[in-house]
């Protein structure tokens, strides 16, 4: 019996003449268009994400809210500053890592090598996401801690409840709201990260598994 | 200098564009996606071109970049209809060579190949392009033995599709 694939091979080579043909001009125009590769997008998104929160300060109402020193009156200024410095340092480190991964990826590698590098990028992304999410939780925890130990929470938050409200009860309500907000916010951010990075690298992961299976 | 390089690159790609078109025809199933992938491969080739030193043939280098783009770097567009438009994908065989049973068999095989994973597709593609196992293994970064084993599995699969 003749090998079916050899039959196919013949046909495949015969088909060569029937492929579309582009002109010099058409190809020339293409090289100036934007590329849409996965790794490039991971790199871009990480930078956008780093910058985006800072754009919030440009909104006036947000800025005035920030100007009032809630942290100071809650007595958590120092830990917050330490945390912020730490966060920026680590975020910068990750951006550098992304850049390194991005540079490392060269289409000239064999597919297996290229895949390994991309998987490394994926791991870096995963670590980054875990770091960002835990940072959000820690920030909320610090705030909640400050609130619980605050002497006069209403004054610190500049809350002036109308009528008779038990301050102790109100305090726990505020703390509870803060805790729920912390968890919800982390979950929402987790969802966004999943959409951004998870979907972007899903196909890659499948191909990587295929290659691995082949090696096994 | 850049202009010169650009001209040189585009003319070489123009001559060898068949390779890219063939990769696109295997990895996409409509004209729009075909053009998309073609463009992405062109951009990747252009980006890598300064590093191409001519120690291999331009076409050999193209195989690698084109396949790597298709299986690792290319983002598939959101709308991906599962059904395939047959006449745009399977280019018609010329009338004088027409043989109904053979045509049917070939079409069956082509659609079976389209169902394969990205990596398997790359293997079949290189095989159809008459590459030997050393070249296939080298391009995909797997061992020669694995390339052979995988290929014989794909052959068996195709055989069962043709002779149920």
Asked if B17 and A39 come within 8 Å (Cβ–Cβ), the reply is no
| CA angle, A211 then B76 then B141, to 5° | 25
In this predicted structure, the answer to whether residue A73 has a pLDDT above a threshold of 60 is yes
In this predicted structure, the answer to whether residue B77 has a pLDDT above a threshold of 60 is no
Residue in chain A closest to B73 (alpha carbons) equals A37
| Residues 149-208 (A) with a CB less than 8 A from some CB of B | 200, 203-204, 206-207
Asked if B127 and A5 come within 8 Å (Cβ–Cβ), the reply is yes
CB contacts of B97 in chain A (<8 Å) are: 14
- pTM > 0.90: no
d(CA A36, CA B40): 7
Query: Quick one: pLDDT band at residue B123, thresholds 50, 70, 90?
Result: very high
Domain membership flag for residue A51: yes
d(CA A28, CA A19): 19
Judged by average pLDDT, the poorest of A135-139, A151-155, B88-92, B140-144 is B88-92
What CATH class does B1-80 carry? mainly alpha
pLDDT in tens, A76-117: 778 888 888 888 888 888 888 888 888 887 777 888 888 888
Of residues B159 and B122, more confidently modeled: B122
Query: Quick one: pLDDT band at residue A189, thresholds 50, 70, 90?
Result: confident
CB A15 within 8 A of CB B91: yes
Residue in chain B closest to A27 (alpha carbons) equals B10
Q: So what's the pLDDT on residue B22?
A: 92
- The shortest CB-CB distance from B75 to any of A33, A37, A109 is to A37
Q: What is the mean pLDDT of residues A172-183?
A: 88
Q: So what's the pLDDT on residue A67?
A: 53
Which residues of chain B does CATH 1.10.1740.10 include? Answer: 1-80
Asked if A206 and B150 come within 8 Å (Cβ–Cβ), the reply is no
d(CA A15, CA A9): 10
Asked if B117 and A207 come within 8 Å (Cβ–Cβ), the reply is yes
Domain membership flag for residue A166: yes
Of residues A18, A211, A3, A209, the one with CA closest to residue A110: A211
Domain of residue A123 covers 35-215
Q: What is the mean pLDDT of residues B110-119?
A: 85
In this predicted structure, the answer to whether residue A29 has a pLDDT above a threshold of 80 is yes
- The shortest CB-CB distance from A108 to any of B18, B48, B106 is to B48
The label of the residue with tokens 């289409």 reads A107
CB contacts of B32 in chain A (<8 Å) are: none
pLDDT in tens, B11-44: 999 999 999 999 999 998 888 889 889 999 999 9
Asked if A214 and B150 come within 8 Å (Cβ–Cβ), the reply is yes
Which residues of chain B does CATH 1.10.10 include? Answer: 93-164
Query: Quick one: pLDDT band at residue B95, thresholds 50, 70, 90?
Result: very low
Judged by average pLDDT, the poorest of A128-137, B56-65, B67-76, B90-99 is B90-99
Domain membership flag for residue A18: no
CB contacts of B68 in chain A (<8 Å) are: 107, 109, 111, 114
Judged by average pLDDT, the poorest of A28-37, A71-80, A123-132, B102-111 is A71-80
CB B69 within 8 A of CB B37: yes
CB contacts of B42 in chain A (<8 Å) are: 27, 30-31
d(CA A22, CA B21): 10
Q: Which two tokens stand for residue A2?
A: 């003749």
| Min Cα separation A78/chain B (Å) | 45
CB A185 within 8 A of CB A136: yes
Average pLDDT, chain B: 81
Domain membership flag for residue A133: yes
CB B62 within 8 A of CB B23: no
Q: Which two tokens stand for residue A193?
A: 């990260």
Q: So what's the pLDDT on residue B92?
A: 45
Domain membership flag for residue A11: no
Domain membership flag for residue A7: no
Q: So what's the pLDDT on residue A216?
A: 66
Q: What is the mean pLDDT of residues B87-105?
A: 57
Q: What is the mean pLDDT of residues A42-49?
A: 77
Residue in chain B closest to A23 (alpha carbons) equals B14
| Residues 20-39 (A) with a CB less than 8 A from some CB of B | 20-24, 27-28, 30-31, 33-39
pLDDT in tens, A122-169: 788 788 888 888 988 888 888 888 888 877 776 666 666 666 677 778
Q: What is the mean pLDDT of residues B101-108?
A: 79
Number of folded domains in chain A? 1
CB contacts of A110 in chain B (<8 Å) are: 64, 138-141
Q: So what's the pLDDT on residue B1?
A: 61
ipTM score assigned to the predicted complex: 0.73
At the second CATH level, the architecture of B93-164 is Orthogonal Bundle (1.10)
Q: What is the mean pLDDT of residues B74-90?
A: 52
Query: Quick one: pLDDT band at residue A57, thresholds 50, 70, 90?
Result: low
A89 touches chain B (CB under 8 A): no
Q: So what's the pLDDT on residue A80?
A: 82
In this predicted structure, the answer to whether residue B93 has a pLDDT above a threshold of 60 is no
SS (H, E, C) chain B: CHHHHHHHHHHHHHHHHHHHHHHHHHHCCCHHHHHHHHHHHHHHHHHHHHHCCCCCCHHHHHHHHHHHHHHHHCCCCCCCCCCCCHHHHCCCCCHHHCCHHHHHHHHHHHHHHHCCCHHHHHHHHHHHCCCCHHHHHHHHCCCHHHHHHHHHHHHHHHHHHHCC
């Amino acid at each position: 019996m003749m090998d079916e694939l050899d039959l196919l091979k013949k046909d495949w080579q015969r088909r060569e003449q029937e492929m579309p043909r582009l002109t010099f001009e058409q190809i020339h125009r293409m090289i100036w268009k934007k590329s849409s590769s996965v790794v490039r997008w991971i790199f871009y998104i990480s930078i956008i994400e780093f910058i985006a929160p800072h754009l919030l300060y440009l909104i006036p109402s947000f800025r005035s809210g920030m100007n009032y020193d809630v942290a100071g009156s809650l007595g958590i200024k120092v830990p917050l500053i330490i945390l912020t410095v730490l966060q920026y340092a680590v975020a910068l480190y990750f951006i550098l890592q992304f850049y390194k991964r991005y540079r490392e990826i060269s289409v000239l590698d064999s597919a297996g090598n290229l895949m390994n590098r991309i998987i490394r990028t994926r791991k870096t992304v995963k670590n980054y996401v875990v770091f960002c999410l835990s940072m959000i939780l820690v920030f909320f925890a610090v705030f909640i801690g400050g609130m619980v130990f605050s002497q006069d929470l209403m004054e610190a938050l500049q809350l002036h409840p109308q009528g008779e409200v038990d301050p102790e009860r109100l305090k726990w309500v505020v703390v509870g709201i803060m805790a729920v907000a912390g968890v919800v916010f982390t979950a929402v951010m987790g969802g966004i990260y999943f959409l951004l990075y998870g979907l972007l690298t899903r196909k890659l992961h499948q191909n990587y598994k295929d290659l691995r299976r082949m090696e096994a | 200098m850049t202009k010169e390089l650009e001209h040189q690159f585009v003319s070489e790609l123009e001559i060898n564009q068949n390779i890219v078109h063939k990769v696109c025809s295997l990895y996409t199933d409509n004209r729009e996606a075909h053009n998309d992938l073609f463009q992405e491969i062109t951009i990747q080739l252009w980006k890598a071109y300064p590093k191409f030193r001519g120690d291999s043939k331009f076409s050999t280098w193209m195989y690698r970049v084109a396949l790597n783009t298709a299986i690792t770097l290319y983002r598939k567009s959101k709308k991906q209809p599962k059904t395939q438009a047959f006449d745009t994908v399977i280019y018609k065989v010329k009338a004088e060579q027409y043989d109904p049973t053979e045509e049917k068999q070939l079409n069956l095989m082509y659609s079976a190949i389209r169902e394969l994973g990205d990596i398997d597709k790359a293997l079949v593609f290189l095989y159809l392009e008459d590459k030997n196992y050393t070249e296939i293994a080298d391009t995909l970064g797997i061992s020669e033995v694995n390339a052979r084993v995988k290929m014989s599995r794909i052959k068996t699969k195709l055989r069962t599709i043709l002779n149920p």
